Chain A
Amino acid sequence: MARTVLCACEDVTLEEVRRAFAEGHRDLESVKRYTGFGTGPCQGKSCLAAVAGELLRLGATPAEIAPFTARPPLQPTPLALLATADPGALPLDPGVPPPAAGPRPRPQGGPLPERARVVIVGGGIMGLGLAYQLCRRGERDVLVLEAGYLNAGASGRNGGGVRAQWSTPTMIRLARRSLALCRSFAADMGVNVWFRPGGYLFLAPTAEQVARLERNAALHRAHGLATRVIDPEEAARIVPELDRRRFLAASWNPDDGVVFPWPFLWGYASRAAALGARIRTFTRVTGFEREGRRLTAVRTDAGRVTCEVVVNAAGAWSKEVAALAGVPLPNRPTRHEILVTEPLKPWLGPLVSVLGNGLYFSQSQRGELVGGMGDPDEPEGVVSGSTLRFLSRFARAALECVPRLAGVKVVRQWAGCYDVTPDNNPVLGAAGFDNFLQLSGFVGHGFMMAPAVTEAMAAWMTGGEEDEIFRRFTLARFERGETAREDFIIG
């Protein structure tokens, strides 16, 4: 078969690039995500020019084909080599800010309408999931405004972990609903999300953490989960490569799993659009107009839209967006770094997470190890630069856990932001204005919460059932001091 292969690492052909363009993925970042080009071991070195050339021929502008952010390391590098750097000698730094804004890609999706009943700020999984769920319930005059491409925010940068192992009944309930929606997402939405229930394995290195896992497991069982606390021998039957000297016990739920995040956004976006929602990418919200206790219009860099309801679903930027309306949120956006390795044949079933040091990793559908690790010293700030410190911290922690990974090579690192709140629970409901609804503060687990939370929010917004979360997780709880901390956070 004489194919024209533009990306030899990932086997992406000219025909596939053209199809992606025809389906509306018109800038290089979007085409990269949709086709997978440039994400293989060569890092886009040999295919970038070929794909950019084709997009130019198809009508893209130079701003739309600007190279994607360079993702170190430049060559596949064994974890064992990265582990030789001492993280203590690598002080934390925000990394390199993105280059000063050059020409921006054109707004996509059509001209900005003059009015829309519901304007959703942010086209991440929250914003798009909500748009779809509103449309399904008959509220179709919905406009989603996204500053970048779809998947530009945390929704396009996360680990894809979906679990029901939480420490409060509310979170367990929401997560179970999300897991059910993940299982049928491909069938319901017509796009593969590669949901793979390989389980979640939490490793507890100390007796205190074992006790915590046991408390949680009891709660889980009371809520119908299959969670069990198992000994290192049994954990090693699930992942034989684990170094069992490193933990005392593990908590295991075989029904948790991992997904491939990006297609969720494409699925929600295309189904919402088919039902009438309008989605405008490369359109940034720059301010609001108000009258008394209501927001009356949304200003953007592409024009102004009058509206009846505004939803702030801007993820880690929610605080910034709320500030545009003069509403202070207590959210603290915090960088979280992550990496992937070369693709390997299947060897790892579950997502493994180590309590205490924030390490987690799983194997993606494509075979890569996807892993991250929080840094306790990370300051607040919306930054997405990468650090060498993270590479060495991750490598050291991962090799302690699975020594067999020593020769596995890292091919790409990047960062996104957690949207952290004082009690690790979200901020929902109206804030500051009667028609300014919040949908933020999902820390490091918003992806798995989104299917369930957006469904509940659409029901609540369209006069259906009011889930307790819209009473409990209001902004006002922080003033009233009615907070209950969720502590089962990874990273």
Chain B
Amino acid sequence: MITNNQKQTGESGKSMNSYLAPLVQQIQPSGIRKFFDLAAGSKDIISLGVGEPDFKTPWHVREACVYSLERGFTGYTSNAGMPELREGIANYLHSRFAVTYNPADQIIATVGGSEAIDLALRALISPGDEILIPEPCYISYSPITAIGGGIPVGIETFGENNFKLTAADLEAKITPRSKILILCYPSNPTGAIMTREDWEPIAKVVEKHDLIVISDEIYAELTYGSNHVSFPSLPGMMDRTILVSGFSKAFAMTGWRMGYACGHPDLISAMLKIHQYTVMCAPSMGQVAALEALTNGMEEKDRMTDSYNQRRRLIVKGLREAGLDCHEPQGAFYAFPSVQRTGLTSDQFAQRLLMEYKVAAVPGSVFGLGGEGYLRCSYATSVAQLNEAIERIGAFVQQLERERTE
């Protein structure tokens, strides 16, 4: 029997940690993890902390998968994914975002968008390369860059500018070692989007400094008021961009882990090598479901997007009325209000909100530079829950106000 003590030190008495790769040892656990643990012990919590749709995967998608299983479609697919799926992805991207990829050698179906980002980084990074990451951003970019041997370089974006990346801020961080720029718009956690006018000067900097771009467009379908502008659609950016996306957000398919990467055949070919030696291929049942979503899922997707848009209006108005400054998110399903006027750090605010008012939200600090002082509130939850959460946040802000004046 292995005792707890033995687990920690090994039979030889040596700490097992000493075997770990130094790169992995240096990685800190996600700040979200702490809140996950805190929330897990509490009851009756309203969660605005969830980064996934509150819809179930549309029934026709689930049904297509079940039917394929009944027919015994359970084997490997080609490494890059079923040809029909890659064809479907190519058609979809062409019609929705005016970007054209050859399904034969420019698209890989991956295990979620996350694997696609990991593949892109591992295919590109040489030790010591600097990877530019506009922040606040999705929590994984920086750690997986470091695990891949790269050096993450955060570029702070600001609430006053609706968290958009500017060419000047990007250029200020570029050094001779800069190699890759990771973009994620619409943004998790800020809900910021970039227009064509916003992108054009960025593209010039990318070209001038010969950067490769990994454009994570997982929230591309969730924009409100203006259409998403895909980064590779900009002049000169097609060949130097790896477009990463997936089915999780648009089609409410988070657990399926279905994503894809598209880019220049040389880049995709390099990524495919890593993909085939690590996961072989994306799950076949997930690929069937993804193809069904692309083929027949647009109406459901529109219905879900409409619903997020309605709730976006509700939460922004509610948070402002509760006494928090909140810029208007134009994409994804997060509001990112400022808690600075309360005098608490984002971590303190989120912890007290969770423990005292039973509302879970994620402190902005976990999303990197520029996130401190903000709170990520997902509005992918029911209207009734949103209303209740807003009421509780309002009561909490009032309590903080009283504490400050006492």
Physical interaction between A and B: no
Interface residue ranges, B against A (CB under 8 Å) = none
